Structure 1
Amino acid sequence: MTDAGNGGPVEITDANFADEIEAAEGLSMVDFWAEWCGPCRLVGPVVDELAREYAGRVKIGKLDVDANPQTAFRFNVRSIPSILFFKGGEVVDTMVGAHPRTSLENKILEHA
């Protein structure tokens, strides 16, 4: 996984969530996923594309729920993939399941 400096998604962890997402200004989008999740593998490349296209405008990250259970539990993520949208450190929207690129992009535009 790359970081936002390279135009890809930021790797979000339990340890860096507060700094990367809650302290971020503007819109952030976090993909809660796991390696074993089939629908997550469909959504992953779309999230990567959106991270490159919206670099510098929207912070887009990915959080592996198996490696980072505290944050997933904190936001009541029970099904993956779950995409949570944050503004000012607060959740403003959630999408659960594999959604097409247009749906994800529409949510970004709605909240940006």
Structure 2
Amino acid sequence: MTTADVSGEVLAITDETFRAEVLERPGPVLVDFWAQWCPPCHMIAPVLAQLAAERAGELTIRKINNDENPLTGREYQVMSLPTLILFRDGRPVRTIVGARPKARLVAELDDAMGPRQ
């Protein structure tokens, strides 16, 4: 078990908390760049909540409102929403643009993260 978030919640972060919540957090962190006006963002939110609960302790999931926190989205070249970026030990390792069915999202994440412990 890594030191990923064990709460099983998708917590909101900001430009100010991004470094501590993502870049300085050991293990894999999935960041959901979203906006209130984005219907696909609302479609993927329950899937991310399920994943956060199912993968608590091995995958941390955070969300950042791209409209309210434009600096982080700009830094990671987020052009479409939702954009999910998987970070491992502070480095982006996979970017997923657009909503996905849960099975496909899990397959993409598992591919990027490697074998489960």
Distance 2:23 2:9 in 1: 19
2:79 paired with 1:78: yes
- Where does 1:48-67 land on structure 2 (aligned, <5 Å)? 48-67=49-68
Deviation at 1:5, TM superposition (A): 5.7
Distance 2:89 2:57 in 1: 16
Distance 1:91 1:58 in 2: 14
TM-score (ref. length: structure 2): 0.87
- Where does 1:1-112 land on structure 2 (aligned, <5 Å)? 6-110=7-111, 111-112=113-114
Distance 1:91 1:5 in 2: 21
Report SS of the residue matched to 1:99. Answer: coil
Judge which range, 56-65 or 6-15, deviates more: 6-15
Q: Which amino acid aligns with 1:81?
A: P
Deviation at 1:107, TM superposition (A): 2.5
Distance 2:87 2:58 in 1: 13
How many residues are treated as equivalent by the alignment?
109
CA RMSD of aligned residues (A): 1.3
Unaligned runs of 5+ in 1: none
Unaligned runs of 5+ in 2: none
Distance 1:26 1:9 in 2: 16
Distance change >3 Å, CA 29–CA 74, structure 1 → 2 = same
Distance 1:30 1:36 in 2: 18
Distance change >3 Å, CA 25–CA 6, structure 1 → 2 = closer
Distance 1:10 1:38 in 2: 19
